[in-house]
Structure 1
């Protein structure tokens, strides 16, 4: 798997409709006994980390296509796992005992720091792409700004509802979505002054917001919902760009969606185990990919450096272009 990925990177595979239609599952891992609830590629693209409802943290070597390590978090549970800027540490939210965020050394499976403060389930956790800052949002209707080096919250925002949040690719601003009807943009250096702009949208009770994600080029914001709709809005003006639909979500799950690294395509999981792909600019559906997932695909991410995608239900699947098979 490693040599082919290196070749892809060297060739600088241009993503086209044809490339997307030919992407295939190269490897499937069946290590988890319960649903994989989150995953995250390292910024360098050579590692993937996942967390699951069975309290397992699994680290994969993306270049070799191997499972590298498995750690357990039986005491606290684990969700919303993210690499920090160091490949040997991660942050995650907890599913048991309390709603503290935990900073974990992957090298020796020891906690380096705890970040207490949230009083209800943490539903959003995102790491700055540039430094040791991270954001967390919770059902307690607060958004908190943290620094890995301090257990104390660096900033606290009380909101009218459950927040969803994301950093832009430059790490200079962050977006907070509130009450399924507004996105507020904050300058990280002066967030205490309030948002510098607010985008308002019509409230849709059947499409409660589940997450926000900036496109890699920073030009658009994707709103994923607990319904069967994904929205794309302009990151500078808030104008609606596209609405993507057609994927199944009868159970009102958070089905993650992701951009291709060039921001040209949107990939989404579906309740029936398949992957839907749309052209981000035109909005048309390019294809539906079948990865033989036995359950709903709730996690999906594109590798930031390689032409590679990962999708997960209880199984983890690695996808490569051109129908490679191990």
Structure 2
């Protein structure tokens, strides 16, 4: 379901539907460690060279330290319990903020330094469309964007919590599964389950 480089270009961590997280050595093309999370993993992010975070079907976010080896299983160093299945995770550019998209139709932002929830984003018209809906920070982390189950796209201001944009015309015919920001923040791309991609401008 997800894969991220772990601190260097030779190691990758993956999260899978089979409830495992695996660390891979790309030089040997082999799995060097397996961690059993106990629930299907919908997304994973890496916050530091040895730390990664996973979001799960069982409504939990789990924090892992790749340096802590305990056989082939391993245990999460910490967990957050949410009110719905975690469909995606994203980190701010500085690595201090964690964004979670949740099946209770909310986006949540956590301060990883303080280990606390900072903001919750929701709207009457926003519905998470599937278990792998992807939300994302803008390049400067001052905005968060996500697609809705009815084909809409929503953007909130991270600092104020205000809704900046809700697409008034549902250009997508079905649930938007993922969005991605242009590296300089001027454009937003969205894609739906019907294989349609749209580029949105700031106008």
Instruction: Work out whether the TM-score is over 0.5.
Output: yes
Count of aligned pairs between the two proteins: 194
Q: Which secondary structure state, in structure 1, belongs to the residue aligned with residue 69 of structure 2?
A: helix
The one of 123, 135, 143 equivalent to 1:257 is: 135
What is the match of residue 186 of structure 2?
307
Larger helix proportion of the pair: 1
Alignment gaps of 5+ in structure 1: 1-122
The two structures have a TM-score, normalised by structure 2, of 0.81
CA distance in 1, matches of 2:37, 2:128: 29
Change (3 A) 1:251 1:315: closer
Computing the radius of gyration from Cα coordinates, the structure with the larger value is 1
Q: Which secondary structure state, in structure 2, belongs to the residue aligned with residue 276 of structure 1?
A: strand
Deviation digits for residues 295-323 of structure 1 (CA, Å, limit 9, x no counterpart): 221110112346332111121122333x4
Deviation digits for residues 72-114 of structure 1 (CA, Å, limit 9, x no counterpart): xxxxxxxxxxxxxxxxxxxxxxxxxxxxxxxxxxxxxxxxxxx
What is the match of residue 232 of structure 1?
109
Report 1:77-226 matches (<5 A): 123-128=1-6, 130-163=8-41, 164-168=43-47, 171-178=49-56, 179-186=58-65, 188=66, 190-192=67-69, 197-201=77-81, 203-204=82-83, 207-226=84-103
Per-residue deviation, 1:217: 2.0
- Work out which structure has the larger RCO, using CA pairs closer than 8 Å and 6 or more positions apart in sequence: 1
Report 1:273-288 matches (<5 A): 273-288=151-166
Q: Which secondary structure state, in structure 2, belongs to the residue aligned with residue 150 of structure 1?
A: coil
Per-residue deviation, 1:269: 0.5
Stretches (4+) displaced over 6 A = none
Per-residue deviation, 1:251: 5.0
Change (3 A) 1:298 1:252: closer
